Amino acid sequence: MSDLKHKVLVVDDDRFAQKLIVRALIAQYDLKTAFDGLEAISVALDWMPSAILLDVEMPGKNGFEVCEELKNNPATAAIPIIFLSGNGSLREKLQGFELGAEDYLVKPFDSDILNAKVKLATSGYHEKRELSERAESAQGTAFEALTTSAELGRALRFVEHTFSIPTFDALAQALFKSMVDFGLHTSVMFVTTSGPLFYSQSTADVPPLEKDLLQIMHHQGRFKDFGCRTFCNYRQVSLLIKNMPLDDRERYGRIKDTVPFILGSVDGKIRSLDVHRSLVSQAESLEQSIAAIAGTLSSLGPLVANGHAEISEIMKSLLADLDERLPKLGLEEDQEKYLVNRIDRSFTEVLAGLDRSLVISDSLTGVVRLLTHLQGQQQKMVAATSVAAETADLPNDGETLSDDCELF
């Protein structure tokens, strides 16, 4: 079949010589012919043959001029050229060699020799093309691997950096910096215990429509694509990518592989910041409650003690008055005895109640001391989590990682 044959362009202004060449090659090759230099250049650029048989002596542009022009054109420079000439001088052969020709045949020539030289030229041309294509493919694969490694390295550096991020605002800015490194324009929603937080990479406030879409798409699966816009979701975070590279499928795939790795660390950091913020809030509430209780008890203690002393004096004065006045009231002995006993019993009960109040006050003071101890332990826990977050991304030798450090 002609479409499986190598293509050969025959250029000769002598029609008889051209027919002889065509007759010798027609069984093995797909042939086209040209009768002068300008036509030869036009056909070569349009048809891209596997070899060119080029006569030297032609009207207009001669064979050497045509060869020079084709070899200077990157599109045709690799096509092998075999000169055909009635002049076999060393000078012309050297000129053809200097211009980049593959071979030089002197007319008349044997058809078997012609076939052998054309076969060698076309086979070599296609072998070179295959090797070049393989080299380009290998180079592309190597470049893709290096690009993927570089992007993975940036993602790993981001994950290491998240351990030291102290606030939601700082986390959003670090995420945007990483997205800029990937050439992406984004907005993000953090889902916290206090409600959603929205951040935009390019503006101070996230537009209302983007807020609505981020909340709606948050539960629609890991990825949701709308043309060049993609939502990537985790439990605590939803990222809107506004410029996905639809025209570069390899880069598109790398982004969908790498961005979830980054968002996974953001998701965990949001939960960590939520826990830390809750601990801080609880510590502040506990501190305020303890201060209020301690203040109340500190004011209540003296009141109870003073009340105990005042009641004791009042009761002693009452008993003294009774000792003095009872004999003058004309009561019978059993009535007088009952009245004294009743007053004495009430006095004893009042004193017992005051003693219990003092015991309760002491117990509450002990509770305050216990709560104060618990508060101190919680403050140490909050401080420890803060210190751990600040130092977690440092290597063992204490040296910080450079932003432009490549891990691969």
Q: What is the pLDDT of residues 138-186, one digit of tens each?
A: 555 444 554 555 666 677 778 777 778 889 999 999 899 888 888 899 9
Does residue 282 have a pLDDT over 90? no
Mean pLDDT confidence for 211-236: 91
> Model confidence at 406, in pLDDT bands (50, 70, 90)?
very low
Does residue 364 have a pLDDT over 80? no
Tokens of 97: 């060699």
Average pLDDT of the chain is 80
**How many angstroms separate the Cα of 122 from the Cα of each of 5, 105, 239?**
10, 16, 55
CATH architecture of structural domain 163-273: 2-Layer Sandwich (3.30)
pLDDT of residue 201: 86
Does residue 80 have a pLDDT over 90? yes
Centroid of chain to Cα 67: 53
Which CATH entry fits the domain spanning 2-135: 3.30.1330.80, 3.30.70.260, 3.40.50.2300, 3.20.20.70? 3.40.50.2300
Does residue 385 have a pLDDT over 80? no
- On the CB side of 39, CA atoms within 13 Å amount to 15
Q: Which residues of 352-378 are buried (b: 16+ CB within 10 A; e: fewer)?
A: eebeebeeebeebeeebeebeeebeeb
> Model confidence at 198, in pLDDT bands (50, 70, 90)?
very high
Residues of the chain above pLDDT 90, percent: 37
Residues of the chain above pLDDT 70, percent: 73
pLDDT of residue 396: 40
Closest by alpha carbon to 375, among 265, 283, 251, 292? 283
pLDDT of residue 61: 92
Q: Checking DSSP bridges between strand 7-11 and strand 51-55, what pairing results, if any? A: parallel
